[in-house]
Structure 1
Amino acid sequence: MENACTSLNQVARSARLLNIDGFSLTAGMGGDYCLKSIWTVDGYELEVLNYPGTTWVALKLVFLSEARTQWGVRASMACQLVDLSRELEPYHEYGVSETFHHPQDFGALVFMDRNKIPSGYIKDDMLTLRCAIMVLRELPVPTIPAEEVVAPPSTNLHQHLGELLQSEMGADVTFLACDESFAAHRYILAARSPVFKARFFGDMKDKCSARVEIKDMEAAAFSAMLHFIYTDTVPDLDRPLEEVTTMAQHLLVAADMYGLERLKLICEIKLSGGITVDAAATTLALAEQHSCLKLKAKCLEFIVSTPAVLEACWRQMGISTLKKAALWSSPSFSSLPIYSTG
């Protein structure tokens, strides 16, 4: 089995031969005399300064760019004598390594005493240095391609709570509605409904009662309300409006009674979606009683939409001519167009 190899970093390299022609003539020229060369490595610009005019042949690596990261740029320079005729092997290697941040940061390298340079490396009064610069590259931050990102699964909390309601496990209160019993959990009810919170954990009489009788709601509506409290869903309203109008009306009343504002809004939207002559009167009355302003406006808009619809609604409501006149003068109708009913 082959050994796996992982690169933990990457290095950019560049190498050149630096020829100092007339090497003997540079002797004694002092430290101000230098030979310059510009390098570009990994996108950074650097300058190599060669000082051959002192007792020691010295080099300086100068950083001319701005580091791309706050940690700076780690770079090194290595030099050795080489024989262009290849009669001699490269001679010794000297190096310097620095971390650069800003332009003009530098690292100095004292190469060797010019008087100790083997004569074989000086050909026709020319000294050749092989110089190599290495720059440690900044590795990109590993990222996961978008197509490989696994989306988190959708929440299933409502499913777990729905199963808890259905299993009755740990239930500590039982409701009686129209001779049907429903087991539930006080803390869940209290967390969802301010009315249940006051009933079970306030000063109301059912605080310690394990059985609570519901006298103002049908069993089907109470069951649907419990399901909403546990799951935040209302499957009983998923069918067309004409099939669930009565349930939506009952749940609207229940939601307002127990402070379930989201359920109340769901019922209001459902009932607004297709008002009919048969349901208009009852829905209008509920909207008025439970402060559903948008639903009330929808009902009134439907009732006065045409003279025929208006008259049909009057008949459905069993309203006499005298009562019609009284209704027209009420705030609910005063801002609406009046159709002649003959």
Structure 2
Amino acid sequence: MANACTNLTGVVRLERQFKIDGFSLLATTMSDSEFVKFRWDAGGYEWEIHCYPRSSEPGNGVALKLMLFADAGSCNVRARLGCLLVHPRALHNASYSEVSLTYVFKRPKDCSAKVFLVNERFLPAPASLKDDYLTVQCAITIVKELPEAAKSVPAPSSNLHQHLGELLQSQTGADVTFLVSGESFAAHKNILAARSPVFMAEFFGHMREASSGLVVIEDMELQAFKAMLHFMYTDTVPELDLELEAVATMAQHLLAAADRYGLDRLKVICENKLSGGITVETAATTLALAEQHNCLHLKAKCVEFIVSSPAILDAVVATEGYKHLEASCPAALTSIVISMRGRRN
């Protein structure tokens, strides 16, 4: 069998020149611990190169360090810093070669040891102020180790909701039929019971539907039941993906259905949808719905909108929805009165 090789690293090399103006002045006034820094994006990380114009270890000279500025994440980053003096040229035609060091960076602000570029005595005095600068060519070679998760086969994303949705559509193994407004829907008792405490009691408790294969649903819109059933299998509500103005009625019916069958997540989804676009025409009816189904967040949003200004309050009071609110939920009016007093105070 032929030998197999798996590449578990990524390598990148970048070069850049750095210039320090007024170098001789810095070299005579800065302490051993002071440095000039340059920021560099390389290999998907942020780096800093620290240049020490004056360093006393092992002798006076120019030294550089490399620091990983950004987070290395869950993997190590091996980097090699190579430095070559470009300007000024050395005295007595002394030749320079690249000096380098290698370091493994594991966390933010990890810093390498110093690499010594040139001894001070080999640098000529600048001929003029314009010539007083130091230029260094730096090269970073980065070898990035892949994290353990990348060395294994990635798991596919969950598609449980898709499989359950297909099960609902195919009706395979269905053991209960719902009759809603003359239309029938086949479903699976176990799945519905796992999602709803009400269905758990109906199918596996002592209620009359426990052994029945047919359940008649009354006082619920056909499309709302269909959307609720889809949610119970897939945990999604595509019917509410449009703007609120187009789906407000559906959201109201679904909220009532969710409260009826103990679907707390669906109830909150509908509540948040309705809270996002309260208008003069919908404020009163939405407040009545929130009061009836104990939606405290939605109720607070409605009251806040209604009392936001005298003009809006007058407009809401003039709607048919407000008449319905007065007749069906007089307790909700108390919240409005209390909020108005609070604003006056």
User: Which TM-score tier does this pair reach, normalised by the shorter chain?
Assistant: 0.5 to 0.7
Indicate which of 235, 238, 254 corresponds to 1:235. Answer: 238
Distance 1:150-1:334 versus aligned 2 partners, 3 A rule: farther
User: Any idea what SS the aligned residue of 2:318 has?
Assistant: helix
Indicate which of 287, 299, 307 corresponds to 2:310. Answer: 307
Question: Are 1:186 and 2:220 an aligned pair?
Answer: no
What stretches of structure 1 of length at least 5 have no aligned partner?
6-141
Q: Which residue of 2 aligns with 1:266?
A: 269
Indicate which of 238, 247, 252 corresponds to 1:244. Answer: 247
- Deviation digits for residues 14-68 of structure 1, max 9, x if unmatched? xxxxxxxxxxxxxxxxxxxxxxxxxxxxxxxxxxxxxxxxxxxxxxxxxxxxxxx
Distance 1:333-1:4 versus aligned 2 partners, 3 A rule: closer
**For residues 329 and 190 of structure 1, what CA distance do their matches in structure 2 show?**
34
The structure with the larger Rg is 1
**For residues 2 and 155 of structure 1, what CA distance do their matches in structure 2 show?**
36
Question: 1:241 is matched by which residue type in structure 2?
Answer: L
Distance 1:173-1:2 versus aligned 2 partners, 3 A rule: closer
Deviation at 1:195, TM superposition (A): 0.3
**For residues 224 and 169 of structure 2, what CA distance do their matches in structure 1 show?**
16
- Deviation digits for residues 200-220 of structure 1, max 9, x if unmatched? 100000111111110110110
Q: Which residue of 1 aligns with 2:155?
A: 152
Q: Which residue of 2 aligns with 1:112?
A: none
- Deviation digits for residues 289-321 of structure 1, max 9, x if unmatched? 11100100000111111222111111113768x
Deviation at 1:155, TM superposition (A): 0.7
**For residues 332 and 303 of structure 1, what CA distance do their matches in structure 2 show?**
11
**For residues 331 and 218 of structure 2, what CA distance do their matches in structure 1 show?**
36
Relative to its length, the structure with more helix (as a share) is 2
TM-score by length of 2: 0.53
- 1:300-339 mapped onto 2 (5 Å cutoff): 300-317=303-320, 330-337=333-340
Matched residue count: 201
Deviation at 1:2, TM superposition (A): 8.7
Question: 2:213 is matched by which residue type in structure 1?
Answer: A
- 1:212-223 mapped onto 2 (5 Å cutoff): 212-223=215-226
TM-score by length of 1: 0.54
**For residues 195 and 153 of structure 2, what CA distance do their matches in structure 1 show?**
32
Percent identity reads 63
Q: Which residue of 2 aligns with 1:36?
A: none
Question: Are 1:168 and 2:171 an aligned pair?
Answer: yes
**For residues 329 and 221 of structure 1, what CA distance do their matches in structure 2 show?**
26
User: Any idea what SS the aligned residue of 1:182 has?
Assistant: strand
Distance 1:330-1:310 versus aligned 2 partners, 3 A rule: closer
Deviation at 1:231, TM superposition (A): 0.4
Question: 1:291 is matched by which residue type in structure 2?
Answer: N
- Deviation digits for residues 187-246 of structure 1, max 9, x if unmatched? 000000000000010000011111111011011000000001000110100110000000
**For residues 214 and 191 of structure 2, what CA distance do their matches in structure 1 show?**
16
